[in-house]
C-alpha cells in the first residue's frame, strides 16, 4: 500500500445519478455510463470524496462511528477506495 495513501484527498469524477436500494446504492456516471453498486459504507465513502476530505479523516471518522481499530478502518477504507477507483467513480 502506498505510504502516502492516507494523505490522499480523493475526488468524485463526473456528474452522477444515484439510485438508493435496500442494500446500498447504485451510482451511475452520466458522462461515461459507468455504473457501480455500492454497499452503504462504500456509498458513504464515495460521498466523502469531495477533494477536500483526506483518507486519514475518513479513517478517523470510521473508527469513531463503528468503534473499530485504526488498522481495520484503514484497511477497509483502502479497499473501498480501490473499488471506487476501479469503478471509475473517483480519482
Residues in touch with other proteins (CB under 8 A):
20, 23-24, 40-41, 43-45, 47-48, 53, 57-58, 60-62, 64-67
Nearer to other proteins, 7 or 20 (CB): 20
Residues 6+ apart with CB under 8 A from 80: 41, 42, 45
Nearer to other proteins, 20 or 79 (CB): 20
Task: For residue 30, give the nearest of 18, 10, 16, 11 by alpha carbon.
Answer: 16
Nearer to other proteins, 6 or 33 (CB): 6
Amino acid at each position: 500500500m502506498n505510504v502516502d495513501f492516507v494523505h490522499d484527498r480523493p475526488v468524485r469524477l463526473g456528474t452522477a445519478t444515484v439510485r438508493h436500494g435496500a442494500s446500498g446504492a447504485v451510482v451511475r456516471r452520466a458522462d461515461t455510463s459507468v455504473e457501480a453498486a455500492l454497499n452503504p459504507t462504500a456509498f458513504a465513502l464515495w460521498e466523502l470524496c469531495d477533494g477536500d476530505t483526506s483518507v486519514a479523516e475518513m479513517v478517523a471518522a470510521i473508527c469513531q462511528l463503528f468503534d473499530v481499530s485504526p488498522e481495520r478502518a484503514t484497511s477497509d477504507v483502502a479497499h473501498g477506495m480501490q473499488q471506487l477507483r476501479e469503478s471509475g467513480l473517483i480519482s
